[in-house]
């Protein structure tokens, strides 16, 4: 029978000596280790990919310093929860307890108001804040809070770290000691983990259970077979992550709001970062909708800002509105194609000189050289337009933007044709 507590949880390090990886901050003489050993740690943020030891490190610090420890998840907690923890920490201080540690997992998911609610407690020394994030804190954590924290960047675990973690599990975990297995090959286990210790141990536990039942030796082939049959359908850091986001984008591009909101739900239920989804919508608004409906970009930008202000779980409603609107919108990739063509042309033709009449003339010499001399100010002419050349001489008549076939861009095409006649072939 499998153990009730997952292997990844059973193998959380209990002592600093048991902590594997992140030698640049936790090795002998490293800055964070020195701070822990001296008992003088600042508020801090651990920034790094999943499964590299952020939570374990927070727990170790609390245990090593014998400090009260409070933990909140940014996915499930609100301002009320934060205030309750701060009140508890303040009461402990009043009873001469040491400064509490407040660990906030996925702190990047906290809204501005939620992060603001932490400031006073950090400034007054009621708590030492330890935040964990997979996102760049420069963008996701408010500057007032960030300035009060030391940021430590944690890195993907290397193969030697993963091997040491497995060796440690085999030697110290009671379930594995009672149910020994033979491992012939490690490559598949390491490859699937992607430098994520938690994922490595979860996969290894699954494979061990299958090996015990089937009385098999653990090989690369055996690992891959078990993983394909048993692993969860959504992994926000692995290959499935890219498959889901691909299906999501293609559903919006293909004007199917039903499929688009389904894939949105898959990402939400899989724990995807809402800011990541909102960023993809911003890109899609220009790449796939463009001038067929310029309001899509405005909505996507407002969605991105709102997601970061409102926080989770209410952001799912804002994402759903934006996704269904964009999927139902007319589509055009004309702006996307235009910049692709323009960049290709620049690479092909190099740094062509700017025509004299388009050049700026801030000095007397430049004016004497006729910089800007024949430029015609468009607003001085009827309809705010006068035909003149804006391309380098060698590229006269080069067509880069071709309006798409939709009501909005059909109007743009007619307007451009009336202005430029046959020059660009509109």
So what's the pLDDT on residue 295?
Answer: 93
Q: Look at residue 292 and tell me if it is in a domain.
A: yes
**Same-domain status, 365 and 388:** yes
CA–CA separation, 54 and 132 (whole Å): 6
**Same-domain status, 123 and 51:** yes
Gyration radius of the chain over CA positions = 29
**Same-domain status, 297 and 410:** no
So what's the pLDDT on residue 214?
Answer: 86
Residue-wise pLDDT tens for the chain (426 aa)?
A: 455 688 888 999 988 888 999 999 998 889 899 999 888 898 999 998 888 889 999 999 998 898 889 988 877 777 888 888 888 888 887 777 788 899 998 888 888 888 888 888 888 888 899 999 888 888 788 888 888 899 999 988 889 999 999 999 999 988 888 888 889 988 888 888 878 888 899 889 888 888 888 888 899 888 888 876 554 444 555 556 667 888 899 999 988 889 899 889 888 877 777 888 999 999 999 999 999 999 999 999 999 999 888 777 788 899 999 999 999 999 999 999 999 899 888 888 888 888 887 787 777 776 777 777 788 888 888 888 888 888 888 888 888 888 888 898 888 888 888 888 888 887
Alpha helices in 350-400 (DSSP H): 364-368
Q: Look at residue 1 and tell me if it is in a domain.
A: no
105, 126, 153: which is the final residue of a domain?
153
**Same-domain status, 149 and 163:** no
Q: Tell me the CATH number at 294.
A: 1.20.272.10
Phi, psi of 351, rounded to the nearest 5 degrees: -85, 80
Q: Look at residue 425 and tell me if it is in a domain.
A: no
Q: Look at residue 5 and tell me if it is in a domain.
A: no
So what's the pLDDT on residue 161?
Answer: 92
So what's the pLDDT on residue 3?
Answer: 56
**Same-domain status, 129 and 42:** yes
**Same-domain status, 98 and 143:** yes
**Same-domain status, 33 and 135:** yes
So what's the pLDDT on residue 233?
Answer: 43
Facing residues of 101 across strands? 69, 128
So what's the pLDDT on residue 14?
Answer: 87
Number of domains in the chain: 4
> What's the order of all strands across the beta sheet hosting 69-73?
69-73, 100-105, 127-133, 44-47, 150-153
Q: Residue 234 CA to chain centroid, in angstroms? A: 16
CA–CA separation, 366 and 370 (whole Å): 7
**Same-domain status, 249 and 287:** yes
**Same-domain status, 277 and 363:** no
213, 230, 247: which is the final residue of a domain?
230
**Same-domain status, 148 and 185:** no
**Same-domain status, 172 and 243:** no
Domain span including residue 345: 338-420
Q: DSSP E strands: which ranges in 89-244?
A: 100-105, 127-133, 150-153
| Sequence-separated contacts (24+) of 174-178 with Cβ below 8 Å | 175/2, 175/3, 175/7, 175/10, 176/7, 176/208
């Amino acid at each position: 029978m499998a153990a009730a507590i997952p292997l990844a949880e059973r193998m959380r390090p209990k002592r600093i000596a048991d902590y594997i990886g992140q030698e640049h901050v936790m090795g002998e003489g490293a800055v964070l280790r020195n701070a822990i050993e001296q008992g003088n740690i600042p508020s801090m943020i651990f920034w790094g990919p999943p499964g590299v030891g952020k939570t374990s490190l927070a727990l170790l610090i609390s245990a090593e310093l014998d400090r009260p420890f409070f933990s909140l998840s940014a996915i499930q907690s609100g301002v009320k929860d934060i205030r309750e923890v701060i009140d508890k920490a303040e009461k402990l201080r009043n009873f001469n307890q040491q400064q509490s540690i407040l660990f906030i997992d996925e702190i990047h998911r906290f809204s501005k108001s939620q992060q603001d609610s932490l400031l006073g407690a950090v400034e007054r020394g009621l708590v030492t804040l330890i935040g964990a994030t997979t996102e760049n804190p420069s963008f996701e954590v408010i500057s007032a809070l960030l300035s009060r924290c030391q940021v430590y960047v944690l890195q993907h675990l290397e193969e030697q770290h993963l091997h040491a973690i497995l060796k440690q599990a085999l030697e110290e975990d009671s379930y594995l000691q009672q149910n020994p297995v033979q491992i012939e090959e490690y490559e598949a286990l390491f490859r699937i983990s992607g430098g994520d210790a938690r994922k490595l141990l979860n996969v290894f536990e699954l494979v061990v259970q299958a090996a015990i039942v089937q009385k098999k030796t653990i090989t690369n082939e055996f690992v891959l077979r078990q993983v394909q049959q048993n692993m969860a359908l959504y992994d926000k850091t692995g290959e499935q992550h890219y498959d889901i986001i691909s299906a999501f984008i293609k559903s919006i591009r293909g004007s199917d709001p039903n499929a688009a909101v389904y894939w949105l739900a898959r990402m939400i239920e899989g724990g995807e970062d809402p800011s990541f989804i909102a960023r993809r919508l911003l890109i899609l608004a220009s790449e796939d909708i463009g001038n067929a409906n310029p309001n899509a970009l405005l909505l996507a930008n407002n969605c991105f800002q709102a997601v970061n202000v409102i926080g989770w779980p209410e952001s799912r409603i804002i994402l759903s509105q934006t996704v269904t609107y964009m999927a139902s919108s007319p589509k055009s990739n004309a702006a996307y194609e235009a910049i692709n063509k323009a960049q290709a042309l620049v690479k092909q033709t190099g740094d062509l000189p700017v025509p004299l009449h388009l050049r700026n003339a801030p000095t007397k010499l430049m004016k004497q050289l006729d910089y800007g001399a024949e430029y015609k100010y468009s607003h001085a002419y009827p309809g705010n337009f006068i035909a003149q050349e804006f391309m380098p001489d060698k590229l006269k008549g080069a067509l880069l933007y071709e309006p798409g076939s939709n009501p909005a861009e059909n109007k743009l095409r007619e307007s451009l044709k009336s202005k430029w006649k046959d020059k660009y072939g509109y």
